[in-house]
């Protein structure tokens, strides 16, 4: 029983990380219809920036906040410079452009930071809480709390602010948005900025659990795509719930299904993607348009 | 000086030119209509004014040359465009649709009052204020589109075939409300329509567009009563 609860909590924390990156992917998809394959690499690069700021002697929290701000700006620049020229183009064009961005960011990170594996400190330390006889890492609880806070903030921004309303309007009807005076370009830039910021947060949290090198987000991206597919590609809430389900399923399968162990865990997201696409292509909360697209 | 002065306006999509150098004027406080058959360039005229299509020529609004402006900048000049197909934000609630309409306004207060004013013109929208706009009927979405345009506090409202897809009695009701809006709010209306009979009854002035050129213009009353004009140009 104790082991089961540990696996559950651990899966929830891992799933929160998948969910955070999936959230970034979904934010861009629902406003632009673009699946950003480079989301993980952008997060990786952001994490290296945080690492660089740490090396320069900044305290962790300051380094993280600085990184989030830089990532927000970088996300906007990427939209303006790389994505804007192809926006509204063919699906294949967009896929190739974001794959190109993937390679570009990955190579740039390798060129600047090298290919060594580095460790990255955790915001939450490595203490454990004893709750009813079960030892639970503070970090796991912290990660889940951070994700819930991010979702809460995004919800308030989208539902209660003018910028958020404009972002939703642009996602639904760009032409009509322009006619009421919303600058679609600027709004999409902000959307990419927010996604890059959320991704950066995910990157830093993930690096603290794993390690930091130029390829550490590659595997995570697959889990995040599984989470987004499961939740519905245009639903932020779905991305988070999908992340939790994938994370917990992965933990349970790795622990209790003998032949999966830790080597075949990657099967979990792949099977999830396959099953969802076969059975319910819109995912749990996706809207039907997604299926047609 | 007229509120809107258009000279030698050419417009089109890609290599196709739809409007071949039209000139017209809209006086402040008036209701002006552009009539014409399908494909004459009515929608393109409005889209050219809003900067949604490639265009050349001069467009002066209140003396300011706006022919190079982007759609969002045109909106900031207090020109509201009620587009063909109504431009509904289907996934937003009725009230949120109205709020988006006030996007260009800097002041926060007054928006709540203006939403109430919209509901005054269109009580049915108030009953559905929390509902997703995509679930509204065609007529209700047309009301919502006009309400959204009102939220911009427009000086000029461009309306693209407001009667499209509506039952005749609903269309009459809608035009009556438009007339009230024009009078009460001091908004100038430029309406493009195929439904000549109805719109001529309450417009002040009319232009007739055919194959991208203006072939006729005059007081709405005169055009309405001239059997020959109606038969040869308006098909009614």
Tell me: do B72 and B143 sit in the same domain.
no
Both B13 and B41 in one domain: the answer is yes
CATH number assigned to the domain comprising residue B25 = 3.40.50.300
> Domain containing A165: what range?
2-217
Of A165, A173, A287, the CB nearest to B87: A173
Evaluate whether residue A112 is within a structural domain: yes
The last residue of one of the domains, among B119, B152, B185, is: B152
Instruction: Kindly report the nearest CA distance between residue A175 and chain B, in angstroms.
Output: 8
Judging by DSSP bridges, how do beta strands B31-35 and B188-193 pair with one another?
A: parallel
Please answer yes or no on whether B100 and A183 come within 8 Å at the CB atom. no
Q: Is the pLDDT of residue A292 over 50?
A: no
Across the interface, whether the CB atoms of B152 and A182 are under 8 A apart is answered: no
For residue B95, give how far its alpha carbon lies from the nearest alpha carbon of chain A (Å): 11
Contact between B73 and B39 under an 8 Å Cβ cutoff? The reply is no
- Assess whether B125 and B51 both reside in one domain: no
Instruction: Identify whether residues B73 and B158 lie together within a single domain.
Output: yes
**Same-domain status, B144 and B35:** no
Q: Are residues B53 and B115 in the same domain?
A: no
Are B65 and B179 in a shared domain? yes
The answer to whether the Cβ–Cβ distance between A181 and B72 falls below 8 Å is yes
Angle, CA B208 vertex, CA B207 and CA B211 arms, to 5°: 135
Under 8 Å between Cβ of B100 and B114: no
For residue A168, the distance in angstroms to the closest alpha carbon of chain B comes to 8
Cβ burial of B84 (10 Å; 0-12, 13-18, 19+) is: middle
Which of B129, B152, B175 delimits the end of a domain? B152
Cα B203 from Cα B166, distance rounded (Å):
19
Question: What pTM value is reported for the model?
Answer: 0.88
pLDDT in tens, B27-63: 999 999 999 988 899 999 999 999 999 999 999 999 9
pLDDT in tens, B140-157: 999 999 999 999 999 999
How many structural domains comprise chain A? 1
What is the average per-residue pLDDT within A1-16?
Answer: 91
Smallest Cβ distance to B89: which of A162, A169, A184? A169
Dist. CA A278–CA B33, nearest whole Å: 53
Instruction: Enumerate residue ranges in chain B where pLDDT < 70.
Output: 235-236
What's chain A's average pLDDT? 91
How large a percentage of chain A has pLDDT more than 70? 98
For residues B55 and B2, state if they share a domain: yes
Q: Which of B152, B185, B202 is the endpoint of a domain?
A: B152
Residue range(s) defining the domain that contains residue B201: 1-77+154-236
A29 within domain boundaries: yes
> Residue A293 — very low, low, confident or very high, per pLDDT cuts 50/70/90?
very low
In-domain check, residue A262: no
pLDDT single digits (tens) A69-119: 999 999 999 999 999 999 888 889 999 999 999 999 999 999 999 999 999
Q: Are residues B4 and B46 in the same domain?
A: yes
Give a yes or no: residue A271 inside a domain.
Answer: no
- pLDDT, one tens digit per residue, over A217-274 is 998 999 999 999 999 888 899 999 999 999 999 999 888 887 777 777 788 888 888 8
Query: Could you tell me what percent of chain A has a pLDDT over 90?
Result: 73
Q: Is residue A207 part of a domain?
A: yes
Is the pLDDT at A290 greater than 60? The verdict is no
Q: Are residues B191 and B98 in the same domain?
A: no
* Residue A288 confidence (pLDDT): 59
Domain assignment present for A244:
no
pLDDT for A263 equals 73
Same domain, B33 and B100: no
Tokens of A35: 């699946």
Query: Does residue A237 fall inside a structural domain?
Result: no
| Overall number of domains in chain B | 2
B105 plus B2 within the same structural domain: no
pLDDT digits (tens, 9 = 90+) for A172-189: 999 999 999 999 999 999
């Amino acid at each position: 029983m104790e082991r089961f609860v540990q696996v559950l909590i651990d899966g929830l924390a891992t799933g929160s990380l998948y969910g955070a990156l999936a959230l970034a992917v979904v934010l861009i998809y629902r406003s632009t219809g673009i699946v950003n394959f480079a989301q993980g690499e952008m997060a990786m690069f952001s994490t290296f920036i945080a690492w660089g700021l740490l090396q320069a002697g900044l305290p962790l929290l300051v380094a993280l906040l600085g990184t989030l701000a830089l990532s927000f700006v970088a996300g906007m620049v990427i939209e303006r410079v790389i994505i804007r020229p192809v926006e509204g183009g063919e699906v294949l064009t967009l896929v190739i452009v974001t794959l190109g961005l993937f390679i570009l960011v990955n190579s740039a990170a390798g060129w600047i930071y090298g290919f060594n594996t580095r460790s990255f400190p955790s915001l939450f330390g490595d203490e454990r809480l004893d709750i009813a006889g079960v030892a639970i890492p503070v970090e796991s609880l912290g990660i889940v709390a951070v994700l819930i806070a991010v979702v809460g903030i995004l919800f308030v921004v989208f539902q209660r602010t003018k910028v958020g309303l404009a972002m939703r309007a642009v996602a639904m009807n760009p032409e009509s948005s322009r006619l009421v005076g919303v600058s679609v370009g600027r709004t999409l830039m902000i959307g990419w900025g927010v996604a890059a910021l959320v991704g950066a947060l995910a990157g830093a949290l993930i690096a603290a659990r794993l390690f930091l090198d130029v390829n550490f987000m590659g595997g995570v991206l697959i889990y995040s795509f599984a989470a987004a597919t499961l939740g519905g590609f245009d639903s932020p809430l779905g991305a988070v719930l999908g992340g939790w389900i994938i994370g917990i399923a992965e933990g349970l399968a790795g622990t209790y299904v003998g032949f999966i162990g830790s080597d075949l865990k990657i099967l979990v997201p792949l099977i999830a993607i396959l099953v969802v696409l076969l059975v319910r292509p819109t995912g749990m909360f996706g809207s039907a348009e997604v299926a047609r697209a | 000086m007229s509120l809107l002065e258009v000279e030698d306006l050419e417009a089109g999509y890609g290599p196709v030119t739809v409007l071949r150098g039209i000139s017209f004027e809209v006086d402040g406080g008036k209701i002006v209509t552009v009539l014409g058959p399908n494909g004459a360039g009515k929608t393109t005229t409005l889209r050219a004014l809003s900067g949604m299509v490639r265009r050349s020529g001069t467009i002066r609004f209140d003396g300011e040359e706006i022919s190079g402006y982007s759609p969002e900048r045109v909106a900031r000049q207090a020109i509201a465009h009620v587009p063909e197909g109504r431009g509904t934000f289907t996934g937003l609630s009725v009230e949120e649709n109205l709020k988006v309409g006030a996007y260009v306004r800097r002041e926060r207060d007054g928006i709540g009052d203006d939403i109430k004013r919209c509901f005054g013109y269109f009580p049915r929208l108030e009953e559905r204020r929390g509902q997703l706009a995509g679930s509204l009927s065609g007529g209700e979405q047309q009301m919502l589109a006009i309400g959204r345009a009102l939220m911009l506090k427009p000086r000029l409202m461009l309306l693209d075939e407001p009667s499209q897809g509506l039952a005749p009695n609903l269309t009459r009701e809608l035009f009556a409300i438009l007339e009230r809006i024009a009078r009460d709010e001091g908004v100038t209306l430029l309406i493009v329509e195929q439904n000549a009979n109805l719109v001529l009854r309450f417009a002040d002035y009319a232009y007739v567009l055919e194959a991208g050129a203006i072939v006729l213009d005059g007081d709405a009353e005169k055009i309405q009563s001239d059997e020959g004009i109606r038969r040869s140009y308006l098909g009614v």
